[in-house]
Amino acid sequence: AFYLNVNRKISDAEYTFPRSRTWSRGDRLFCDSPNISLVYRVNLERSLQFGNTGSATPDAKIVR
């Protein structure tokens, strides 16, 4: 198994929120450098044929 770390930057439009919808007092930024961080665990598994008459099956890649 191995791990993949993935970071995706978020644009200003995705994390800017209005201060007040009623009085229109402008927008507010909540982060300096926002991103989404994901960690994937990848397991590589080898498949074996079943008995003498079974056909070979492809290898499996499982991502969690």
Tens-digit pLDDT profile for residues 27-59: 666 677 888 899 998 887 766 665 565 556 666
Bridge pairing between strands 16-18 and 27-29: antiparallel
- Name the band, by pLDDT with cuts 50, 70 and 90, for residue 5: very high
Cα separation, 12 vs 25, whole angstroms: 18
pLDDT at 52: 61
Copy the structure tokens of residue 51. Answer: 């008995």
Sequence spans of domains, the chain = 2-63
pTM score of the predicted model: 0.44
What sign has the CA pseudo-torsion 20, 26, 30, 35? positive
Distance of CA 8 to the CA centre of its chain: 9
